[in-house]
Structure 1
């Protein structure tokens, strides 16, 4: 065994040996590695991490030991298993040894760092290292490594970099499989670059640069459906069948959902029946629920119930989403009795209700003027292990304000403000602000707005309009003007309701110059001479138009 050096610098690993850091993984070392090299690499990595990121003076001390590329690579590899942060500290050591010790690192070290940097989200560093490796090491990646880089770029939102890497694959002498193309298309879709996803598919398919699989077609069908281009989606379905591809349940669910979102629910239902009659594929709960949900949204509850019965007769068990859309549909269409029956059916069928279920029932009761029943459900939520969400609060607050039970609504709002897990939304606060302004308590409305903003809630155009009109009704024109300019400066575009109301009140208050200033600021907007005359003839602002 080699004697342990007495230099303080080389005693650092012993001093830190009790650290709770995870042990480094065994390294595939060449047989020619000496024990001294291993020990020096351990000293370098541990001491480097101790002084990171101010590690250059320390590294220069190691220069006297004439570090070899092998020792430097061993130290970099070991840093991958020490924390924090492993990838950046290892990368920093790589740069310092390269730039100040003139060490040329081997390909495995590059690959290790690129992998680590990619997984930790430091893609710009990983891509720079990749380009450096291609030049410095005359490196040619294989399909697996390039595919990993592409997926990492997509995962980190660097879609253009992923596209660039894909375009270089042929230069490396291979063609990537469809999963890599699918990954990029999914990334484009998730980034709302829907048209780009379709163009990408058509371009590479036309050039014969990849052989799509069923998932490739499903992604493009989803993109076309999202754009509402159902005609192109159906044409693509026929084309893929001509090419010998067999559509699966995901394919058909995508088309059914696309038809529903394009307000072609009857066509979606016909498509569903066609699937069942021709035995093309067995529809599942998602297929049926898409159609049921769309019928509920347009108020065709009889049709929704008919599809629901067909679903049961097909032996498909409804899930939580299926019941929720039916309960919500019945409630919004004034049939709270059927909504409650569906809820009972849901519970007896062994399907657990969630907060969406209860919120739909509460909304149904409120819409049918049964606020006491809504309150009963609210109070029973805790017994069911449920907590109201922002929409549950919104429903209760809205209908309490509608019934002029403002103090109760404010109590619900106070309860909401105690929930740190709920970000305040303007649509929850607006009914209370509107109610306070209508009774002339604009100061309290402004205090509530301030509290909302302190909790990272952002007012919308209705919030501003409510308060502007509230100030106008109290004759507080300077406050109304200030709020109007604030609304404009925050990027919330004033609508004609707020503008006409403010200009009308300014003119009637004998403040034509201020009215002119408001109109001049909107001269390039939608406030015209016609609006000016409408403002002159406007009798008085109404706060309720803003909610």
Structure 2
């Protein structure tokens, strides 16, 4: 955007159209005219209130997106517009996220016979920050100060916050110096913006030093000040130091919120120490800060990532006990972890199946791999009826099981001597476009041989050869060696 102050005239007539949420015009509040330092809007007087009502009545007849119509209407009523009413309209548009239209109306102010005052410029700075035109916002700031209008701490803080969010810390500190130059004292929100900005670009030590020096400036840090530094420490693998800051905040009598604890959960997860999250969870409860769904999910996610399956199961049960739902991907990760763990620790099979059953009862679709893990687990504990049922269910949902999943079922059925059911599974593989592997045929030939069913063994062996697969196992009569 070209500078508002680089044109021959400050104001120009806009030609671009923009949608306007006209219903928000009822939110217009009228600022008082001030000189020197800009203050917040005051109450409207009778005249500005009447202008607003009349304007709202007329604007209802204009199509919703007709910006030029709105401008024309304002120009027709130019003699009735006060600067206070105009500023109130700009502020309402800004509040309704209509910064573009506010800027267009601002550029039309000369057509209404209005000259901007300090409050007008403050609103425009906010609009430019929302539009991410920070160079222009700084130019407007300097222009208004050169014309004798000093922004208030809110306007300064909004600009500093926008600069910090985009990593422009050098410019942010220059604005801070401007504040000091006119005797505008920064507040805790101003410092919090700078703290977050410093941590955003990795300057955690500098941010920590600023936090420690805030009280020297007679500014008491709040919980958000500590949260900013804690987040910075956690992101660079210094979660223990973040915990130390939390303890310091508690000594100062500050009440931690759920965000500050969730930051610690994330930090310990990143460092591969998710079980430290249980200490955080306990402290959270001790300080009467109820964990939310994100708290539990973050803790459980870290535990699963680092293979702490039983601990994750504990968190899951507590989460369900307090009424929180676990999202689908997290359930899939928990199920996978439980299944793999249960192959050695059989007592987890029931827990795995309960998680799986909960997934089935939800509207969300169970993914391909979750079925595969559960079917394999059921086969390993010889729950073949359930394994076969879920194999059919999986196919019914449109999934084609992997060869290893089919083989798990075939093997389980063969171990139980259910050779004909196993043969049906082999046929199902054909029907679903899967070519059985050598292992698939070997298991069937072996079991047919064990049961003395030579014809069945020969049929399976012949079917394998037709598919170009040569089994290791052969029908018993063709081999004198025992099996």
TM range (shorter): 0.5 to 0.7
Report 1:199-348 matches (<5 A).
Answer: 199-203=136-140, 205-206=142-143, 208=146, 211-276=150-215, 278-348=216-286
Contact 1:397 1:412 in 2 (8 A): no
**Aligned partners of 1:214 and 1:245 also within 8 Å:** yes
Name 2:329's counterpart in structure 1. Answer: 394
Partner Cα distance (1:445, 1:204) in 2: 66
Whether the 8 Å CA contact 1:365–1:371 is kept in 2: the answer is yes
CA shift for structure 1 position 133 = 4.9
Q: Which residue of 2 aligns with 1:113?
A: 57
Cα distance 1:201–1:431, how it changes in 2: closer, same or farther (>3 A)?
farther
- SS of equivalent residue, structure 1 residue 139: helix
> How many equivalent residue pairs?
326
User: How much does 1:161 deviate?
Assistant: 2.5
Larger Rg: 2
Q: CA deviation at 1:253?
A: 0.3
| 3-state SS, counterpart of residue 65 of structure 2 | helix
CA spacing shift, 1:167–1:126, aligned 2, 3 Å: closer
Question: Matches of 1:448 and 1:189 in 2, distance apart?
Answer: 50
From 121, 135, 160, give the equivalent of 2:100.
160
- Classify 1:402/1:163 alpha carbon distance in 2 versus 1 (closer, same or farther; 3 Å): same
Cα distance in structure 2, aligned partners of 1:381 and 1:242 = 53
Query: Is the CA contact 1:110–1:130 (under 8 Å) kept in the aligned structure 2?
Result: no
What RMSD, in angstroms, separates the aligned Cα atoms of the two structures? 4.1
* Correspondence 1:366 to 2:304: yes
* Match in the other structure for 1:134: 75
Q: Deviations over 1:449-471 (max 9, x none)?
A: 9xxxxxxxxxxxxxxxxxxxxxx
- The change in CA–CA distance for 1:158 and 1:331 in structure 2 (over 3 A counts) is closer
Residue 376 of structure 1 aligns to a residue whose secondary structure is helix
Question: Which residue in the other structure is 2:87 paired with?
Answer: 147
Cα distance in 2 between the residues matched to 1:315 and 1:108: 47
Q: Give 1:359 shift.
A: 1.1
Q: 1:133 to 1:186 in 2, by over 3 A?
A: closer
Q: Is the 8 A contact 1:205 1:211 kept in 2?
A: no
2:390 corresponding residue in structure 1: none
What is the TM-score when the length of structure 1 is the normalising length? 0.51
CA distance, structure 1, for counterparts of residue 127 and residue 368 of structure 2 = 37
Deviations 1:55-108 (A, max 9, x none): xxxxxxxxxxxxxxxxxxxxxxxxxxxxxxx98xxxxxxxxxxxxxxxxxx988
2:79 alignment partner, SS class: coil
CA deviation vs aligned residue, 1:478-508 (integer Å, no higher than 9, x gap) = xxxxxxxxxxxxxxxxxxxxxxxxxxxxxxx
Residue 314 (structure 2) pairs with residue 379 (structure 1): no
User: Which structure 1 segments of 5+ residues have no match?
Assistant: 1-85, 88-105, 419-423, 437-442, 450-473, 476-547
Question: Structure 1 residues 158 and 320, CA, compared in 2 at 3 Å: closer, same or farther?
Answer: closer
**Are the structure 2 counterparts of residues 405 and 317 from structure 1 closer, same or farther at C-alpha, using a change threshold of 3 Å?**
same
Which has the bigger relative contact order, CA under 8 A and spacing at least 6?
Answer: 2
| Distance apart, 1:345 and its partner CA | 1.5
Cα contact 2:103–2:124 (8 A) shared by 1: yes
Decide whether the 8 Å contact of 2:226 with 2:249 is kept in 1. yes
Q: 1:133 to 1:234 in 2, by over 3 A?
A: closer
What are the residue-to-residue correspondences of 1:429-448 with 2, within 5 Å? Answer: none
Distance 1:376 1:249, change over 3 A: same
